[in-house]
């Protein structure tokens, strides 16, 4: 009789386990299906979301400058917004005009010199073929180059054919971005106040954390990327001037823009100066390539990880994972801005873990603990108070165990 009861209890336990497993699998499947449906539904509004995001990003970049002008010159906030935007538009117009002019001149020069350049490239490739040929291993580098040239020419013609329509679309989107960002900067305090009113009172601290973490993460990320691109631009300018390379603007601009891509950008940024050096001044390639590789190694292995860690507070491995996930979800834009989004999620993850550790300590009242820490550090933010309180409790537990 006892054996029958044991078998029945064991069977019921297995049934409960399988029922729980089924519920978990079904819930996971339904959640993923719902997320896929939402992703497809929002895909149609991707351009609108992109315009809103770029407008917010522009407002985020210009807002500190507006505050500085208003405080430094003691002028009304609206006038400071107008002055900053006029200056930004004039500067953007100058940079755009210079970039278009320099690019047009470089393309015209490249077109005029292309027959000579093609002969030079094929001559260099022929020398390489003779150098690396070994037995039956005789790669056709010239044929490979001609295939690449045909592909690039075909793609270039298709892109040139779409330039008028793309230009109109881009200009219209830029106008919308500028107008929206202008309103965001001008009514920033009012917009933030209204958003704060929408959030329920019990989540007011979390809303403030989101506001601070977004500003900190995106600001720090943009500063780090601009600094890295600036270092790369200076390095390439030195190489272009010292080696006497042509098409300097295109080489420097393309290398600096590629450097803006996190992690995958640095090796890609080496290609423009190395390729141009191989084509137009191969005699100095043994000097240029080691110089670029050494400086790039310092940037990738020392400067970039420390900038990312100090700016975002997350480990470089997590940054790389965020880059891969962001590029998988949103392509180029996900690769560019997935890291600051991950930094914001990291802030909330640490906040949730620290708050849970405090709340799960039975002999500690959460409110009293946070008030005690706030009394000692009145300037600390809410998430910093929670982190300090959790560290204090962890230190007390280690002392008690010892």
Query: Which residues are CB-neighbours of 199 under 8 A, at least 6 positions away?
Result: 206, 207
CA distance 324 to 261: 12
**Mean pLDDT, residues 290-319:** 72
pLDDT at residue 99 greater than cutoff 60: yes
What per-residue string of b and e applies to 71-98 under the rule 16 or more CB within 10 Å gives b?
Answer: eeeeeebeebbebbbeebeeeeeeeeee
The count of residues in the chain is 402
**pLDDT, tens digit, 9 for 90 and up, residues 57-85:** 888 778 888 888 888 877 888 888 888 88
Note the Cα 238 to chain centre separation in Å. 27
% the chain with pLDDT above 90: 0
Is the entire prediction scored with pTM above 0.75?
A: no
pLDDT at residue 222 greater than cutoff 50: yes
The reply to whether 372 falls in a domain is no
The reply to whether 295 falls in a domain is no
pLDDT at residue 312 greater than cutoff 70: no
When mean pLDDT is compared over 108-122, 175-189, 339-353, the highest value belongs to 175-189
Say what angle helices 271-280 and 248-259 make with each other, to 10 degrees.
Answer: 150
**Mean pLDDT, residues 238-267:** 84
Maximum distance among all Cα pairs of the chain, rounded to whole angstroms = 99
User: What are phi and psi for residue 137, nearest 5 degrees?
Assistant: -80, 100
pLDDT at residue 401 greater than cutoff 80: no
pLDDT at residue 100 greater than cutoff 80: no
pLDDT at residue 286 greater than cutoff 80: yes
Q: Are 209 and 381 contacting, i.e. CB atoms less than 8 angstroms apart?
A: yes
3-state SS class at 147: helix
Q: Are 314 and 346 contacting, i.e. CB atoms less than 8 angstroms apart?
A: yes
The reply to whether 332 falls in a domain is no
Q: Return the percent helix, strand and coil in the chain, to nearest 5.
A: 90, 0, 10
The reply to whether 179 falls in a domain is yes
237: burial class by Cβ within 10 Å (0-12, 13-18, 19+)? Answer: middle
Note the Cα 208 to chain centre separation in Å. 23
Residue 2 is predicted with a pLDDT of 47
pLDDT band of 202, cuts 50, 70, 90: confident
**pLDDT, tens digit, 9 for 90 and up, residues 333-343:** 676 777 777 77
Note the Cα 362 to chain centre separation in Å. 42
- Name the domain count of the chain: 1
User: What are phi and psi for residue 262, nearest 5 degrees?
Assistant: -65, 135
**Domain range enclosing 136:** 45-198
The reply to whether 361 falls in a domain is no
The reply to whether 358 falls in a domain is no
Mean pLDDT of the chain: 76
The reply to whether 132 falls in a domain is yes
When mean pLDDT is compared over 93-102, 249-258, 371-380, the highest value belongs to 249-258
When mean pLDDT is compared over 37-51, 75-89, 116-130, the highest value belongs to 75-89
CA distance 51 to 57: 10
pLDDT at residue 209 greater than cutoff 50: yes
The reply to whether 35 falls in a domain is no
């Amino acid at each position: 009789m006892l054996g029958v009861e044991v078998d029945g209890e064991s069977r019921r336990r297995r049934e409960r386990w399988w029922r729980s497993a089924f519920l978990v699998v079904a819930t996971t499947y339904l959640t993923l299906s719902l997320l896929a449906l939402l992703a497809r539904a929002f895909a149609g509004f991707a351009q609108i979301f992109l315009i809103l995001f770029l407008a917010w990003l522009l407002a985020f970049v210009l807002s500190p400058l507006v505050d500085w002008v208003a405080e430094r010159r003691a002028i009304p906030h609206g006038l400071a917004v107008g002055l900053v935007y006029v200056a930004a538009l004039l500067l953007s117009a100058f940079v755009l005009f210079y970039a278009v002019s320099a690019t047009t001149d470089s393309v015209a020069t490249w077109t005029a010199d292309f027959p000579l350049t093609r002969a030079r490239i094929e001559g260099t490739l022929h020398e390489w073929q003779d150098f690396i040929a070994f037995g039956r291993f005789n790669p056709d580098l010239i044929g490979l180059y001609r295939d690449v040239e045909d592909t690039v020419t075909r793609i270039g013609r298709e892109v040139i054919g779409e330039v008028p329509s793309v230009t109109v679309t881009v200009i219209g989107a830029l106008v919308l971005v500028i107008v929206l960002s202008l309103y965001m900067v001008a009514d920033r305090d009012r917009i933030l106040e209204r958003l704060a009113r929408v959030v329920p009172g019990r989540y007011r601290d979390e809303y403030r954390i989101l506001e601070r973490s977004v500003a900190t993460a995106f600001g720090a990320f943009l500063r780090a990327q601009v600094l890295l691109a600036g270092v790369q631009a200076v390095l390439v300018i030195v190489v272009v001037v010292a080696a006497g390379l042509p098409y300097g603007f295109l080489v420097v601009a393309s290398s600096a823009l590629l450097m803006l891509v996190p992690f995958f950008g640095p090796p890609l940024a080496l290609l423009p100066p190395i390729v141009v050096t191989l084509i137009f001044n191969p005699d100095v390639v043994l000097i240029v390539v080691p110089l670029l590789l050494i400086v790039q190694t310092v940037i990738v292995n020392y400067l970039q990880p420390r900038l990312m860690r100090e700016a975002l507070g997350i480990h470089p491995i997590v940054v790389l994972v965020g880059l891969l996930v962001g590029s998988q979800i949103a392509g180029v834009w996900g690769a560019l801005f997935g890291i600051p989004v991950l930094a914001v999620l990291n802030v909330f993850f640490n906040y949730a873990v620290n708050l849970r550790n405090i709340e799960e300590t039975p002999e500690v009242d959460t409110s009293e603990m946070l008030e005690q820490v706030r009394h000692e550090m009145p300037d600390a933010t809410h998430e910093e108070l929670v982190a300090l309180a959790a560290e204090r409790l962890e230190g007390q537990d280690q002392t008690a165990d010892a």
